[in-house]
Amino acid sequence: MASLRERLIGPAPVIVEEHGPDSFVPAHPAFFATKRNHLQLVLQARQDFLWIWRRNDYRNRYHQMNVFGRQLVIVNHPEGVKYVMATRHENFERKSPQMRRALEYLLGDGLFISDGSTWRQRRPLVADIVHKNRVPTFGRVMEEVAGEMATRWATLPEGRELNGLVEMAALTAEIISRTVFGNDLGEANAHEVIDGFSGYQNLIDSINIGYFLGFDEGLPVWRSRKLTHSVRRVHKVIDKVVDDHLAGRGDNNSMVELLVRRQQRNPELGLDRDALRNEAATIFMAGHETTAATLTWAWYLLSNSPWAERAVHDEIARVCGDRRPSVDDVPALDYCRAVIEETLRLYPPVPILARQAKEADRIADIDVKPAAIVMVVPWLLHRSVDLWEQPNNFRPERFLGQRPVPYGYIPFAIGPRICPGLNFGLTESILCLAILAQKFRVRVVPGTKVEPRCRLTLRPRGGLPITVTPR
Ligand code: HEM
């Protein structure tokens, strides 16, 4: 018998996945096709934002709806993306109440969700910490940590099943800890953060009902015992990282040094311990979760596309021979880069960029009301039939040589709020992919039903069961 949820919103969509001799259409939900009312739409979005889209939503267009008296504007056109994220950035710099409320328990006023003067003061500080000039130095740590994972994988009994998502999250959490904080994280702590954040994502609502009940700022999320437990698991580890760091127990004091120098130059910043902790939590979470998701999806895609996996192996052999790929090789690893870029197109780790309008505005021919939600949706834009040939196919070659339409490809967002860790994240993904692919064939366990799930980030539901075989 159908569950109450199914009776209200219908069954979950069919997940489409198609294999050809030299083509692969990776898992995505089929279009939503039947009629629904606003209540059903909201319930469906609460379940999963990827379930709500109709065929027409995957076109370059602007679209608005009024849901329980609230205006929602969906901007799926490069021109509109430019307008919202860059030209009129100041009017659309605020994250949606849903995003602010969903993350404030975890990140306080950390950069990811701050705005106004807090954001303006802290942005240069955080951007400095992960600045692209520091990536070559960080690269050595990335090599080391990925090398350690390769050594561990080599000792695994044949056919041992791993959760690819957990493996990649442990890898990227260790990298962010050692690079930015100069501390070893260790397996046990990494797993605390990973499990804590997975629990958090599962519990947090995709919709802030308070906003639809008339509260422009939304309502705080209900801090249930389970949610509090998840937050404590993450905070405990991050607090230790920050404490060790402040006590000078890390190998490098870079984050503190940068902070102190900034504070000396601009005493009005008032960067106290809380601010440091919130920014540390932000860098830690934003800096490992997204890259972990990217690498996990990349293994899924390669595991199903032997021709692309072959091209990856050939390129690594050509560029690096038998030695371990290094950060200096990254500029020459064009195909590996294309695999990562194509992965970020198909599975952008932040699939929805939702903003709240400060003042009335006009986007294309839509009059936007103050406090309306304006959504730029990389998931839709990256699969727009007007921008991409065979948008649902995995084709890394599309990124070789030619660049996407400006403002049509935005896995790191765009405009003044663009991800400050862009170079860090790209280099890390390419390097880790190359180091592990040189030594192992990663296979998704046969029979696995892969399903993209959109919560705070876009992950495969339940992770990704894999096996790794030495090459
Ligand atoms: C593949 C990897 C990554 C992807 C796809 C990614 C994506 C994004 C996106 C889309 C945003 C903007 C969200 C929005 O405007 O709503 C963002 C912001 C941010 N990211 Fe990343 N990110 C990645 C890696 C990193 C890394 C490695 C770091 C740090 C080391 C980092 C730190 C941040 C921070 C601090 C922000 C907030 C910036 C602000 O609001 O001004 N990210 N990221």
Domains along the chain? 4-470 (1.10.630.10)
**178: its two tokens:** 């050692």
Mean pLDDT of 73-83: 98
Give the global pTM.
Answer: 0.95
Contact assessment for residue 177 and residue 228, using Cβ atoms and an 8 Å cutoff: no
18-63: pLDDT as tens digits: 999 899 999 999 998 888 888 888 888 888 899 899 999 999 999 9
Rounded CA separation 368/6 (Å) = 34
Mean pLDDT of 55-83: 95
- Residue 160 alpha carbon to ligand 1 centre in Å: 33
Neighbours of 432 (CB within 10 A): 28
Query: Between residues 379 and 274, which one has the greater pLDDT?
Result: 379
Which phi-psi region, left, alpha or beta, contains residue 259 (left: φ > 0; alpha: ψ -120 to 50)? alpha
Kindly state if the Cβ of 415 falls inside 6 Å of ligand 1. Answer: no
Output the pLDDT for position 239.
84
226-258: pLDDT as tens digits: 999 999 998 898 888 777 777 777 665 566 667
Output the pLDDT for position 253.
59
- Residue 237 alpha carbon to ligand 1 centre in Å: 21
Q: Residue 389: CB partners within 8 Å, gap ≥ 6?
A: 398
Mean pLDDT of 384-413: 96
Output the pLDDT for position 407.
98
Q: CA 314, 306, 287, 327: dihedral to nearest 10 degrees?
A: 0
Among 129, 290, 374, 458, the mutation site with the greatest number of ligand 1 atoms within 8 A of its Cβ is 290
Kindly state if the Cβ of 282 falls inside 6 Å of ligand 1. Answer: yes
Output the pLDDT for position 1.
61
Output the pLDDT for position 456.
86
Output the pLDDT for position 272.
77
Output the pLDDT for position 278.
86
433-451: pLDDT as tens digits: 999 999 999 999 999 999 9
Kindly state if the Cβ of 290 falls inside 6 Å of ligand 1. Answer: yes
What's the length of the chain? 471
User: Which amino acids are annotated as binding site for heme, given as ranges?
Assistant: 419
Kindly state if the Cβ of 460 falls inside 6 Å of ligand 1. Answer: no
Return the HEC string of 38-97.
HHHHHHHHHHCHHHCCCHHHHCCEEEEEEECCEEEEEEECHHHHHHHHHHCHHHHCCECH
Model confidence at 262: pLDDT above 80: no
Question: What's 409's DSSP letter?
Answer: -
User: Which amino acids are annotated as binding site, given as ranges?
Assistant: 419
Mean pLDDT of 255-270: 72
